[in-house]
Amino acid sequence: MSKCLRWGEILGVALLVIIVAVLRLVISFMILRWPVWGRIVSAMVDSIDVILIDLMHLGDFKDYHGTDKILDAYFLVLMSQIEGSRAERFAVIVQVADDLI
């Protein structure tokens, strides 16, 4: 059975999920340039992402939970890269990868 694209979807993915994911990916890079402010802004965007999705009404976000977990892992890996020794940074990456699997 073929699915036709509905309003607010790109390749079957809700447009709002794409918008919020891109927003979180781009803002998380602030951590590398401005560690304190990058963490604060990234945490705020992470906190309000579901509210943004609800306000936009651009499709269904029933599968956003998995996307949110991947974006959280990305955020944590970036945070780990600005502090600690090489072994500590590697340990965080391994732990996040293990949590995702």
Span 14-31, pLDDT tens digits: 677 778 888 888 998 888
For residue 17, give both structure tokens.
């999920």
Q: Assess whether pLDDT exceeds 70 at residue 90.
A: yes
Mean pLDDT value across residues 34-61: 80
Q: Read off φ and ψ for residue 57, nearest 5 degrees.
A: 50, 50
Token pair 């790109």: residue: 10
pLDDT band at 2 (very low <50, low <70, confident <90, very high): very low
